[in-house]
Amino acid sequence: MMKLLRLLLPLTLITLKAHAEDGYRLWLRYDKIENAALRSSYSNQLQYIKVYGQSPTLAAAQKELVMGLSGLTGNTPRESATTEQASLLLFTRFTQPAQLTGITTDYAALGQDGFCITTARIKEKKVTIITANTDIGVLYGTFHLLRLLQTQQPIQAVQVVSVPAIQHRILNHWDNLNRTIERGYAGFSIWNWHTLPDYIDQRYIDYARANASIGINGTVLTNVNANALVLTHDYLLKVKALADAFRPYGLKVYLTAKFSAPVEIGGLKTADPLDTSVQHWWQHKADEIYELIPDFGGFLVKANSEGQPGPQTYNRTHADGANMLADAVGTHGGIIMWRAFVYDVRVQKHDEDFDSNKTNKNLPDIAAADRFKQAYAEFTKLDGQFRKNVLVQVKNGPIDFQPREPFSPLFGAMPQTPLAMEFQLTMEYLGQGTHLVYQAPLFKEVLDADTYATGKGATIAKVIDGSLYHHSLSAIAGVSNIGSERNWTNHPFGQATWYAYGKLAWNPNANARDIAREWVQQTFTHQPQAVQTITDMMMASREAVVNYMTPLGLHHIMGASGHWGPGPWVNNAGRADWNSVYYHRADSFGLGFNRTATGSNALAQYKPEVQAQWKDSNTCDERYLLWFHHVSWQHHMHSGKTLWDELCTRYQQGVDTVRRMQASWNSLQTVIDPERFHQVQQLLSIQEKEARWWRNSCLLYFQTYSRMPLPAGVEPPDHTLDYYKSIRSLFVPGAGSN
């Protein structure tokens, strides 16, 4: 009993400190269940805990159970001296007590991280069991059981078997060593490199807890626009301190490797991946890292993109570069995640005479200029040339995390190479931390998309979980939206995207609405009508932002540099494909980027069945119409409206949806705690204001080409186009390339 009290005391203090509803506790709130009968039932069923085995991970599981059950039931569970007394048993395959010989768990099916929660009997006494092959599996099962209680599910005869579909489930932090975060909208980096390795902030532990609770098992600590300094010994000692803090929660650390590190910090004259001195340098560096951090995950690499050095600097291929690093970490069990986000000024040579006033049919340079095509062109020819411990990490779409993109044509196009999905949780193009945008519908839209790579049913989920081409290595990455703000993500609903990412990384077939409802119950309330109202808001939010920013397949029309606010008029950026006009190609005829055979022919990078969905402007899924077609302002839409009228209507619908979200949230004032209610209320006000800003700016600009009036029901802008063009986005947080 004293042991449990020692476990509970520091956690109780942490909970009390965070009990103000400031969002710090995320979805791990563990507040007392109001339903007395249910609370008593849980307490009676789980009052004696017995953990078999000793390890930091099992200690973390026991600590979580003590804190969770104490908070939820109001009663501190007791540590059982014997198996017969226990009502909740935790053990692995190798520590199963002899009294449970009749339990038939299929451990072979659970793998490394899977778990089983089951109900059994010991001498006629009902017991709840959490078991797995590994200690981390037991911890994942512990969080799952607590989630069942948090969402008030029956557990009298619980039977759960859960196995992750994807092996490496990783957060990518775009955090810099000076604690700024590229595309970060929730404060500064939570990694305080100045006080590491000697000071371990409680926030690091709670970060690991939160990730373990949703099955995330890896974190890349540093920005893909890498700084070689993190590979020096002094910084590696700091990385080791974080790795040690995370290890009980199954969270491996990874680093970004700057390709020129052998020159910058190694004193070499070259970083050529085929140079033996360079190869030896990376091997020694990997040996040094693994001596400090035996379970170091490996490297994430951005190379030959947006000014980052890479193997092409030395006339080598991406495979040459990736394989050199793969050999360095491979002997230690590490992996390389090589990003496919590559584009270079060289491919823009045909765009020097780009003129946004030309009609699409007069753009003979378009076939060579389309940035959409470059990743596919560079990587498909390398299929089969990568080492077995290399994954090519591909953004969900072919451009850059837009509110809606068609899936990247690389998915399904590299059968001999495992591909990792890269989603963006941080809201670079989605309101930058002030808009309520639940991204699970976006993630699901991509994961469920059919590549037809091996025929019907070859979904992207099957590509990245390895099952489509029988790869044993699989990974998914989410660009973090976490910062130093007390509530982690700035917008309280940003937590929902973090949560949903973890749930979908574990099970890509999970339902976005179910995940939203589960998050709401753990985060805000169990009141049925309120849960329904908030869930409906969340499920509508992604389509709303598409409508008020980039409806009908418009894309990349935001302001320059900071990527904040509308900028469809941007035409003076440093290269053609940084300009909005490059993407929307508005002219007196119409709107949109022709990517069919008569244009850039990017559509040809997809399988014929996918091409068929988008190649005809009259039958094209209108969500992607302007991605693939340059169509007349008078083009007849499925609604019967012209393109212009439909465009205007969609922009208005986006604004109207935000206003409905405001009304829905205001109706919950008596249900939601005052602190978070007023915070979300104010943020929704910002969102409504900026939605109108987007609508007014874009419609006024596009109207200069269409020369058509706004249709009935669309509110007239309250300022002129020149006014909106004059707005300057100064000091936008997180600006930079990615």
Q: Is 295 a residue of the active site?
A: no
Task: State the DSSP H helix or E strand holding residue 460, giving kind and residue range, or none if neither.
Answer: helix 460-464
Q: Please choose, from the candidates 27, 8, 402, 452, the residue with its C-alpha nearest in 3D space to the C-alpha of residue 206.
A: 27
- Taking the C-alpha atoms of residue 287 and residue 389, their distance in angstroms, rounded to an integer, is 17
Tell me the three-class secondary structure of 197-212, residue by residue.
CCCCCHHHHHHHHHHH
- Residue 323 three-state SS: helix
Question: What are the phi and psi torsion angles at 318 (to 5°)?
Answer: -60, -35
Asked if 34 is an active-site residue, the reply is no
Identified catalytic residue from 370, 428, 450, 690: 428
Whole-angstrom distance, CA of residue 376 vs CA of residue 384 = 14
User: Nearest 5°: phi and psi at 339?
Assistant: -70, 140
Q: Which of 295, 306, 383, 609 is catalytic?
A: 306
Please give the DSSP secondary-structure letter assigned to residue 195.
Answer: T
d(CA 273, CA 351): 32
At position 305, the amino acid (one-letter code) is: S
Query: Using the 8-state DSSP alphabet, how is residue 261 labeled?
Result: H
Check: CB of residue 332 under 8 Å from CB of residue 286.
Answer: yes
Q: Among the options 175, 400, 405, 450, which is catalytic? A: 400
Angle at 249 (CA atoms; ends 239, 105), nearest 5 degrees:
145
21 is catalytic: no
For 512, residues 6+ apart whose C-beta sits below 8 A from its C-beta are 438, 440, 441, 443, 444, 500, 539
**Helices (H) then strands (E): counts for the chain:** 23, 16
Residue 194: partners with Cβ closer than 8 Å, 6 or more residues away: none
CA-based end-to-end distance of the chain: 51
- Token readout for 276 is 């033996």
Catalytic (active-site) positions: 306, 400, 428
